[in-house]
Amino acid sequence: MLVDTHCHLDFPQFEPDREQVIQRAENAGVDYLVNIGATLDSSSAACALAVKYRQVYAGVGVHPHEADGFNQNAEDKLRELALRNKVVAIGETGLDFYRNLSSEENQLSAFNRQIRLAKDLKLPLVIHSRQAEEQVMQVLKTAMPVKAVIHCFSGDEIFLKGCLDLGFFISFTCNVTYKKSQGLRDMVSLTPLDRMMLETDAPYLSPEGFRGKRNEPMQVKLLAEAVSLIKGISVDEIAEKTTKNAKEFFKL
C-alpha cells in the first residue's frame, strides 16, 4: 500500500479521465490520495472529490502565488472548508520567492494566518517553500509548536536539518528521478525513513521517462522504487514506512 500525499486531481488536466486516473492509482497499490487545495475554489473542489471518492482526502489552503487576494473573507471561507468531512490538513501554504506572483508582505501574512488557523483547528500544515527557506524557517520557528510536512522538498542540507530538528516531515516527489537531481537524491539519503513521505504533485513533475507528460498518482509507485534504490532497502519497506507516516500525520 502507498499514499500519494500531495496531488491536484481537481485541476483541469484531469477533467477528461479523473475516475480512470484514480482507478489506475488503486491498481498500482496507491490506496490513499491527498488532494491539496491551492485556491479557495480548488480547496472546495478537493472537498467535493473527497466526498465522492473513497480513496481521496482533502487539504484546504491558499498557495503563496494567490496571497495577494487573501483577506478576512478568504480566511473565513477557508475555515468553513476546513471543518468539512475528510479534510486532513491546511495547505498548501508557505512562501515562494522564486516566481513572486504575490508580494512578499502578503505571502507572509497569508502564511501566518493559515498557520494560526491550522493550530486553532488542530490540523497539520502542508508547506510550500521555494527559494524562501530562511524565511519559512523563521516563520515556523516563531509559530512552534506546529505539525508540518515540507512538500516537494527542494532545499539544502541546512534547511533539511532545521526541518528535522523541529519535528517536521519531508515529502519528496518524482523529480528525485531526474538525471540532474543528484543533490536531491542526497537529501533523500539524509532523511530518516520515519520522517519521510512520498507524493507526485500531479499533474506536475512526471518522473524520468515520462517528462513532458501529465503526472498522475499511480507514479508514486515508481517514486517508491527510486527511493528504495537510493536508500538501499526494499520497496516493501519504503511503502510500509512512508504509508505509516502519512496515515499517522493526516489521520487517514
pLDDT class for 239, splitting at 50, 70, 90?
very high
- Count how many residues are written for the chain: 252
| Secondary structure of residue 59 in the 3-state scheme | strand
**Fold of domain 2-250:** TIM Barrel (3.20.20)
Task: Give residue limits of the domains in the chain.
Answer: 2-250
| Secondary structure of residue 101 in the 3-state scheme | coil
Report residue 79: phi and psi, to 5°.
-60, -45
Give pLDDT tens digits for 167-223: 999 999 999 999 999 999 999 999 999 999 999 999 999 999 999 999 999 999 999
The stretch 136-158 carries a mean pLDDT of 98
DSSP alpha helix (H) spans, the chain: 18-27, 40-52, 72-82, 104-121, 133-143, 157-165, 182-190, 220-231, 235-250
Q: How far apart are CA 116 and CA 143, in angstroms?
A: 8
Question: For residue 186, how many other CB atoms are within 10 A of its CB?
Answer: 14
pLDDT class for 250, splitting at 50, 70, 90?
very high
| Secondary structure of residue 174 in the 3-state scheme | helix
